[in-house]
Structure formats: structure tokens, C-alpha cells
Amino acid sequence: MKQPIPTNLILGFLGVGKTTAILDLLKTKPEGEVWAVLVNEFGEVGIDGAMLQTEGAFIREVPGGCMCCVAGLPMQIGLNMLIQKAKPDRLIIEPTGLGHPAKILETLTAEHYADVLALGPVITLVDPRKLEDTRVLENVQFRDQVAAADILVANKTDVASPEQIEGFDRWAAELAPAKKAIFKTHHGRLRPEWLDGETSLPAVSSPHAHDHHHAKTVAPAPDITEQPWQLVRNEGQGYVSLGWRVHPEIRFDEQSLMALAMDSRFERFKAVVHCIDGWRTLNMVDGSLSVSESDSRELSRLEAISPEALSDAELDQAMKEAAGVADECVATP
């Protein structure tokens, strides 16, 4: 383990491709090094963590909302346990796309971690297409993520128009203070050398945006063998998430699940799930759905995130229909 541990935050708004970017970075890990990832999700079922486990890194999750709201004891416990277990040569932290970075940076640069962590450049991913949406530009989470960045990266340039990329260039050039570096990429491909160096700790635009929030206690998940169908809900920052943990012996119809994932109310839908023909990873963002084969897991995990109100009963019933199960089949014994 290197001392202090090189540490990077990978920031970005909901659906910009942070997990994909970290997966790609993990493939560049030098042989013999140990990398660890602390991942925070808005929902409570840990899908991003499940996806990241495929690359052999040590993963620790801080579930149930914006990491900055749990940047006190829950985050520190997760971080300390991860360091103790993994003894990593590099640490990557992925906060939720619906979070503010101020409290996280405050925690990581506090005296307690002064000799433990060496905070490198903060990298923020931006989807150039989103800059056309004033709701995104005016969103305090988005603004703070951009303000906190040392390095700004336009991701998904393969699906952005030339005009949208030019718009990103103009917008990024006008940011003050100027960024250390601005790059363009697609499919979340980040160069490992971007992780090196030190953060300049730029001031975020709204450093006290979440001072009114308090740490949320997240109850341990029930045993999946005792409760084979678990529905959990989380709300905050103008969004709601519904997540499911499902026993692996319950298999979903892939086509039904794909149709459900494309519900127009969803901003995001993601799943690592056991289907009739094997394990699949589903990822829907911006109306585009990708499906790929996945390694087998200890349980299926599914999550829908929406800026609209969602009916637990309606969507739970639709999910059970996609799995071909009745209520009595998944009832708690």
C-alpha cells in the first residue's frame, strides 16, 4: 500500500457514465497494484458496486442518498473499512450523480486523513448534450460538481452533435477559475495519467447547499433467503428511486424487463439481474437501453430513478409480472 494513498473523486451528473469510466480505468491498473473504489448511490440496492466488482477491485458501498449527506460517520466508517481491508495503492471515490462534493472534499482533506490520503485531481464528467437544458445548467448539484473539478471531461462525444461539442467548448472556456485541463472522450474512457498530481481544491459554487441535511441511517438489508423479494425506496434532491433485491432463483423475462426499463417516467433504469437465459446487465439512460451478459451474482438488483412521483405498488406489480411470480411466491416466511 502506498502512503499516503493516491485518491481521486470521479464526479458527474446522473447518467453521465461515471461507473463506465471507472470500469475502464480499472482495466488499466498496473499489474501488482491493488485498487479500491468507494461508491455511493442514490438508491439503496448497490447496482454500481455490483457492476464494478467484475474488474477485481475492492469495492465498498455507501448506499441511500447523496454521499455528502453521509460524509460524517457512515462515509468515514466505509472508507476506513475499505482502506483496512484492501490496503490499496490507489483509491477512487464515485459519489452519486445527485450529490454535492463540498462535504466529501471537506472530509477527505480533514486532519484525520492528512497522512492517509493524497487527494489527486478531481475529475468531473459532463454530457455536452445536457448543456442545452437550462434545468441542468441551473441545477445546484451540477454546478457544484463542475466547480469542484480540476479536470473537466466531455463524455459521450460519440453521440453528441458537432454543434453540441462546440457548445461545450464555449461553455468550458468561460468557466472561472479556469480548469487545469479540459478533455473530450466517449464510452467513459479516461487516461490513467489524468489521475496523477494534486487537486487545487477549487471552491464549489454552493458549499453549504446541504448543511441542513443530516446523516441518514440505512438499515442492513434483510437476508435474501428469508425475504426473497425486497423493495426499497429513497427520495431527495427532487428525485425518487425504487430498488429491488431479488433471490437469484427468481428469473426475469428479458424482453419484459427491457420494456419496463424504457418507461418514459424513468431518468435511469439499471439492473444486474438473473434472466431466463442467464445473467444480464441493463442500463437505460436518456432513452437508450444497453443490455450485456454478466457474471452470476448472489442476488438480482434493479433500480429505477425518476424526477416524477412513482407508485410503489404499480411498479412492484409490473416487476413481479416481468419475473412471472405471484405475491404469495415472494412473501416473507
pLDDT of residue 69: 52
Whole-prediction pTM: 0.82
127 with 16: CB under 8 angstroms? yes
Q: Which of 123, 124, 126, 202 is nearest to 171 (CA)?
A: 126
The answer regarding whether domain 5-195 maps to CATH 3.40.50.300 reads: yes
Task: Identify the burial level of 311 via C-beta atoms within 10 angstroms of its C-beta, where 0-12 means exposed, 13-18 middle and 19 or more buried.
Answer: exposed
Mean predicted lDDT score pLDDT of the chain? 87
Question: Looking at the predicted structure, is the pLDDT value of residue 122 above 70?
Answer: yes
Provide the H-helix boundaries in 210-283. 254-261
- Please tell me whether the peptide bond between 177 and the residue prior to it is cis, using omega within 30 degrees of 0: yes
- The CA distance from 144 to 155, in Å, is 18
Domain ranges of the chain: 5-195, 229-329
Q: Which of 124, 131, 133, 129 is nearest to 183 (CA)?
A: 124
Q: Tell me which of 107-116, 143-152, 215-224 is least confident.
A: 215-224
pLDDT of residue 324: 92
> Phi/psi at 215 (nearest 5 deg)?
-60, 135
Better-predicted residue by pLDDT, 236 or 144:
144
Question: Looking at the predicted structure, is the pLDDT value of residue 329 above 60?
Answer: no
> Phi/psi at 267 (nearest 5 deg)?
-80, -40
Which amino acid does the sequence have at 217? T
29 with 35: CB under 8 angstroms? yes
Check for a shared fold between 5-195 and 229-329: no
Q: For 44-74, what is each residue's pLDDT tens digit?
A: 676 777 777 766 788 887 766 554 454 556 7
- The CA distance from 307 to 276, in Å, is 31
Q: Which of 4, 10, 170, 161 is nearest to 88 (CA)?
A: 4
Question: Looking at the predicted structure, is the pLDDT value of residue 198 above 90?
Answer: yes
pLDDT of residue 333: 40
Assigned superfamily of 229-329: CobW-like, C-terminal domain (3.30.1220.10)
pLDDT of residue 215: 46
Q: Which of 48, 122, 118 is nearest to 89 (CA)?
A: 118
Neighbours of 134 (CB within 10 A): 8
